[in-house]
Amino acid sequence: MGLKTVVINGRLTREPTIKNNGTYDITSFTVAVDSNRKQVGEEKNPASFFRVTAFGAKGKAVADYLTKGDEVTVTGDIELESYTGKDGNTYHNLAVTANEIHFGRKRTNDSQPRGEERQAPVNSDFQPQRETEPVW
């Protein structure tokens, strides 16, 4: 038996997308994680990108409450996927299936705070937690 669990903390690179396969919701989003070290001659730290899939209520919460630029921490199982691009070259992608999702800071504009904050539905038992409290 092996262990292939990963914890990533970064920001969403785009809006989460949600699909329903007829049984449950499947939410996909990409998280960019900045490196702690700069490459020689580079101005910015390089980033790694992880494609994350979340199922059911976890994924629905991500789609409902997070947007591009928001911080998120994901714990999940990691897989190396390979695919052939339109150009015929083989590419590799790190994909994470989320087990736990923690919401972080909301993205803000330097000049003004982000406008409308999303709130949990009134008739819902789900209340998203911020910073140190886990969502699940």
pLDDT in tens, 31-71: 999 877 666 776 777 788 899 999 999 999 999 999 999 99
CATH 2.40.50.140 fits 5-103, yes or no: yes
Average pLDDT, the chain: 79
User: Cα(63)–Cα(57) distance, rounded to whole angstroms?
Assistant: 10
Q: How many residues does the chain have?
A: 136
Residue 106 has pLDDT above 80, yes or no: yes
pLDDT for res 79:
92
Q: 118 or 94: which carries more pLDDT confidence? A: 94
Beta strands in 13-70 (DSSP E): 17-20, 25-34, 47-55
User: Cα(83)–Cα(97) distance, rounded to whole angstroms?
Assistant: 18
pTM above 0.85, yes or no: no
Q: What are residue 33's DSSP bridge partners? A: 48
